Amino acid sequence: MEMSLFLSGFRITLKIFWFSNELMSIISFSIRRRKLVIAIWVFALIALTPSLLHYSSYLNYSLSNALPKNSESQRAQALISSVLPQNSTLIALIKQDAYSVQTANKTLSFEKALSQVPYFSSSQSVYTSYASFLDKFLGNKTLYIRDL
């Protein structure tokens, strides 16, 4: 079976052997009414644009709302959260001279007090890095910071 298509003065001949008659009728319809087919596609894309722009607001990956409150996993999570607080972050800003020995000592004593808090994992500051450097090469870190 052959189909001929005229586009911009050029004749394009398609040799089609394996299509069924129904598919051939759809192809010939879309070739004959190509402007209508293009208009339908443009209209469909314009109609779908608002939903495509807000697609992420339709998705919810949170499983906590999907599970009932009395389920075993929800009760276990509540029990664990009450005993072991998770993802807690503390950021302390110091508004003093950063090069002062008193600031370094106060910061190190604050970090030492924080390390006594249950479930506290770690702390980091400029002074702890400096103190660990001094400890590595010179020995007692707090002695050298206090003597500066």
Q: Where are the domains of the chain?
A: 2-54, 101-147
Q: What is the pLDDT along the chain (148 residues), one digit of tens a residue?
A: 555 555 555 666 555 555 567 777 888 888 889 999 999 999 999 998 888 887 777 666 666 566 677 877 778 777 777 766 666 677 777 888 888 888 888 888 888 888 888 777 788 888 888 777 777 777 665 554 554 4
| Residue 98 to residues 39, 45, 76, 91, 132, Cα–Cα distance (Å) | 68, 59, 45, 16, 17
Q: Name the strand (E) or helix (H) holding 36.
A: helix 34-53
For 144, what's the count of Cα atoms within 13 Å in the CB-facing half-sphere? 14
Residue 108, burial from CB neighbour count under 10 angstroms (0-12, 13-18, 19+): buried
Cβ distance 145 to 131 under 8 Å? yes
Evaluate if pTM is beyond 0.85: no
Phi and psi based region of residue 81 (left: phi greater than 0; alpha: psi -120 to 50; beta: remaining): alpha
